[in-house]
């Protein structure tokens, strides 16, 4: 192979990087385990952050964190603009959430994940100046059928027709928040059922794009970092996603505009993460519909992870057993 060909291969995230990143999400999940159900979400988050940062430092890439975690709740964080990796290999944008669902972890509830998303450098939208975005996610059948600017009832009816289901069979995931009281009422008034999520809307969005999932649609206002991360997964799954930024006040709106964001634009998955070379990895912290959580099996700790690559259109599940003695 020529030097030029080798350099070309080194410029983009590849399958080897995907498998290396799994080590970081596995480590974060394992380190969070002692804090499950302890009611201390920041302690769980710090343990996961420290483990993820340590493992990312060994990975062959030059990762620039575009979407960090922790800014909303002043938790410990891998901060926006931080470089991770050993500096060799592909230059990448990275979104991290050492625990998507810190409250779930603290309470011992399901669906907490450790998550990393990666794309080519310069392809990931920096939406960090606006903390929240409104979103709607489905499988590929939503393209050309759903419009986030239409009433949710219209979208539900149109999507049900597109996938050949009765409206009453549709299940719509939405975060259980006071801000969604009207949305939840409208979903039910349309005749669909809800699946209320306590936290962790990345898993909700991914499940909406998976054909084997019982969730047909994921809607509502969630974190912008989680929205960008979800977009990387949706591109690998071939799903459909639309979002709109949801500033909390005029000051945040102006801050977003100053950062180059369009408050009136409908952003689709390709706008949030451009190109066709995204990698999404997630490891379960607690059990959930996407992956199983960390479990003790004699002298080992078992983790389950999912790896999604848009370039190859593959979904891989990785089950690993780790000697618990190595994690003391």
Nearest to 100 by CA among 226, 196, 235: 226
User: Within 10 A of 73 (CB to CB), how many other CB atoms are there?
Assistant: 12
Q: Which residues are bridge partners to 172 per DSSP?
A: 194, 217
Give the position of tokens 């027709």: 161
Q: Does the annotation place 74 within a ligand binding site?
A: no
Burial grade of 284 (CB within 10 A; 0-12, 13-18, 19 or more): buried
* 153 annotated to a ligand binding site: no
Whether residue 316 is annotated as binding a ligand: the answer is: no
Strand duo 267-268 + 279-284: pairing = unpaired
Alpha carbons 244 and 220: distance in angstroms, whole number? 10
Q: Is 132 annotated in some ligand binding site? A: yes
Q: Check the annotation: does 45 bind a ligand.
A: yes
The encoded tokens of residue 323 equal: 């000697």
Q: Structure tokens of 143?
A: 């393209």
Secondary structure (DSSP) of 264-306: T--EEHHHHB-SS--EEEEEESS--SSS---EEETTEEEEEEE
Residue 101 backbone dihedrals phi, psi, to 5 degrees: 115, 50
The answer to whether 271 is a known ligand-binding residue is no
End-to-end CA distance of the chain: 44
Q: Which of 229, 224, 232, 323 is nearest to 279 (CA)?
A: 232
Q: Is 102 annotated as a binding residue?
A: yes
Tell me whether residue 177 is annotated as binding. Answer: yes
**Using CA of residue 238, residue 222, residue 50, residue 304, what is the dihedral sign?**
negative
290 phi and psi, to 5 degrees? -90, -50
Residue 226 assigned as binding residue: yes
88 is in an annotated binding site: no
Q: Is 136 left (phi over 0), alpha (psi -120 to 50) or beta?
A: beta
179 labelled binding-site residue: yes
Task: Identify the DSSP state of 142.
Answer: G
Other CB atoms within 10 A of residue 122 CB: 12
Residues in the chain: 328
Residues that constitute the known binding site for Mn(2+): 45, 69, 97, 100, 226
Residues that constitute the known binding site: 45, 69, 97, 100-102, 132, 177-179, 199-201, 223, 226
Residues that constitute the known binding site for substrate: 100-102, 132, 177-179, 199-201, 223
């Amino acid at each position: 192979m020529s030097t030029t060909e080798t350099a070309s291969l080194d410029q983009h995230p590849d399958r080897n990087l995907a498998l290396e990143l799994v080590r970081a999400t596995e480590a974060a999940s394992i380190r969070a385990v002692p804090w499950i159900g302890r009611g201390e979400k920041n302690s769980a988050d710090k343990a996961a952050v420290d483990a993820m940062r340590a493992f990312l430092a060994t990975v062959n890439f030059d990762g620039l964190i575009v979407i960090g975690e922790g800014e909303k709740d002043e938790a410990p964080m891998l901060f926006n603009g931080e470089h991770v990796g050993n500096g060799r290999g592909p230059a990448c944008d990275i979104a991290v959430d050492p625990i998507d669902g810190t409250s779930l972890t603290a309470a011992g509830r399901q669906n907490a994940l450790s998550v990393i998303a990666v794309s080519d450098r310069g392809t990931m939208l920096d939406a960090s100046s606006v903390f929240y975005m409104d979103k709607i996610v489905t499988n590929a059948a939503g393209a050309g059928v759903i419009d986030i600017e239409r009433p949710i009832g219209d979208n539900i009816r149109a999507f049900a027709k597109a996938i050949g289901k009765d409206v009453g069979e549709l299940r719509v995931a939405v975060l259980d928040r006071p801000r969604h009281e009207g949305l939840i009422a409208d979903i039910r008034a349309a005749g669909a059922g809800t699946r209320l999520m306590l936290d962790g809307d990345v898993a909700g969005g991914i499940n909406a794009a998976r054909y084997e999932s019982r969730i047909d649609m994921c809607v509502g206002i969630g974190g912008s970092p989680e929205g960008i991360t979800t977009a990387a997964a949706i591109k690998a799954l071939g799903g459909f996603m639309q979002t709109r930024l949801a500033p909390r006040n005029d000051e945040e709106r102006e801050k977003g505009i100053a950062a180059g964001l369009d408050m009136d634009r409908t952003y689709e998955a390709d706008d949030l993460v451009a190109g066709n070379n995204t990698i999404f990895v997630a490891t379960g912290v607690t059990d959930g519909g996407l992956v199983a959580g960390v479990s003790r099996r004699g002298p080992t700790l078992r983790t389950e992870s999912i790896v999604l690559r848009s370039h190859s259109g593959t979904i891989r599940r990785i089950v690993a057993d780790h000697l618990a003695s190595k994690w003391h």
